[in-house]
Amino acid sequence: MLANYGHKDASGDFFITIDTDKCDSCGDCVTACPADVFEVVDEDPNDPMRDEPVAMVAADKKKKLKYECGFCKPPSDMPPLPCVEACKAGAISHSW
Amino acid sequence: MAEEKKQEFWRWTESNWKNPDIDWKDARFITVGIDVGSVSSQSCIMADGNIFAYANMRTGSDSPNSARNALNYALEATDMPEDRMDYCIGTGYGRVNVPFADRSITEIACHARGANFIYGPEVRTVLDVGGQDIKAIQCDEKGKVTNFLMNDKCAAGTGRGMEVFSDLLGVPINDVGERSFQVKEEPNAVSSTCVVYAKSEATGLLRKGWTTEEVLAAYCRAMAERIFSLVGRVGVTPEFAVTGGMAKNRGVMDRLMPMIKLERMKTEWDTQIAGAAGATLFGYALCQKGKGRKR
């Protein structure tokens, strides 16, 4: 499942997509993110019949990703994103 | 004292319904789903996976109360005692505030499952335009979510915005769709999708001499464009179905569908109960698997 967490308003689209089929719930993204955007939960709330842990964007972060992710996204010379780098399964992508 | 005169144009009709062909006494499992949304609350009672009764009400300021009222309203239509229910699932914005629920499931999963039930297994894309958020969901033939997006930060282009406009323009909410097409020429959309900005822009347009119908048309078009841009991120694959209260508004839907270039599916069911129906079906599935309530 492609889970798009984030928001869209007049200033743009700010979504982090987690491919839950690729995610192996290792938790590397949780430690890699300096803003504590990610968390690993025991059960995917959007897929209640699948009883496996999965990474997701924390509920209190998903409405302010534009700001939470701001430190990793300078206007020029953007380095590779820590979360995308850390995820060996390649499950994380950003829309902006 | 001057008499207060007030008409609530936004107020939509609350309803309850009971399936006359089902007798709850014959059912093995009675499951209940409660969808406490930001604007409306629904309860759905199923007997072995078929809808037995449902109710659709407005959410008050108190979520536990709204959940209780919605359930009572559905039970009112039947002669079933409440303790007959085997499992109850809460969903929606206020899902953690349903005191009598056995567990809660997110509205994303419930809407996909519910749309699969009320529209049929051909549904691949579900658009739910709720009171305060928009959900675009792709699902498989079993109603399992494969891709989803929910915009709950900004209420632009949602049901609440439409209520604000119906009140501003003095047009009963049920007439908005029809009235918005009574224009000589389709106006451009209002430039902002934000409810607050759009409202002040609309006030300006009225001063300029626009008719009520033209302003409604301009706002309905803005909402359709806003919804379209969100759906585009998830992608649209047929069949396409709309749930939630906005599915009843022709003004937005008939402007949205030409943009999507698809027909939307039709149903006899109330589109607002999709979330509650999905929750109920999850409860039924859990009961069948023996994961129901321990007695």
Tell me the per-residue pLDDT of B215-241, one tens digit each, with 9 for 90 and over.
999 999 999 998 998 898 888 999 999
Dump pLDDT digits (tens) for B17-31: 999 998 888 989 999
Q: What is the mean pLDDT of chain B?
A: 90
pLDDT at res. B294: 59
**Nearest-CB residue to A4 (from B148, B154, B156):** B148
Q: Could you give the angle at the alpha carbon of B252 between the alpha carbons of B246 and B255, nearest 5°?
A: 145
pTM assigned to the model: 0.90
Chain A residues with CB-CB distance to B90 below 8 A: none
CATH class, B122-264 region? alpha beta
The interface pTM score, or ipTM, of the predicted complex is 0.86
Question: Quick one: which of B94, B3, B89 has its CA closest to B41?
Answer: B94
Q: What is the mean pLDDT of residues B183-204?
A: 89
Could A45 and B109 be called an inter-chain contact, meaning their C-beta atoms sit closer than 8 Å?
yes
CA-CA distance, A73 to A79, in Å (whole number)? 8
At B141, the pLDDT band (50, 70, 90 cuts) reads very high
Q: Would you call B128 helix, strand, or coil by DSSP?
A: strand
The pLDDT value given to residue B7? 79
Option in B149, B152, B229 nearest A15 (CB): B149
**Residue A36 structural domain:** 2-94
What per-residue confidence (pLDDT) applies to B11?
85
A63: closest CA of chain B, how far (Å): 6
Q: How many domains does chain A have?
A: 1
CA–CA separation, B254 and B66 (whole Å): 32
Domains of chain B, residue spans: 15-118+273-288, 122-264
B148, B195, B229: best mutation site toward chain A, by most A Cβ within 10 Å? B148
User: How far are the Cα atoms of A37, A78, B43, B66, B115 from residue B94, in angstroms, in the given order?
Assistant: 23, 39, 13, 9, 20
The strand pairing partners of B148, in sequence order, are: A3, B137
CB contact under 8 A, B230 and A49: no
Q: What is the pLDDT of residues B159-192, one digit of tens each?
A: 888 999 899 999 999 999 999 999 999 999 998 8
- Domain at A43, CATH number: 3.30.70.20
**Residue A94 in contact with partner chain B when CB distance is under 8 A:** no
Q: Are A5 and A43 in contact (CB under 8 A)?
A: no
Kindly state which CATH superfamily the domain B15-118+273-288 is placed in.
Answer: ATPase, nucleotide binding domain (3.30.420.40)
| pLDDT above 80 for B295 | no
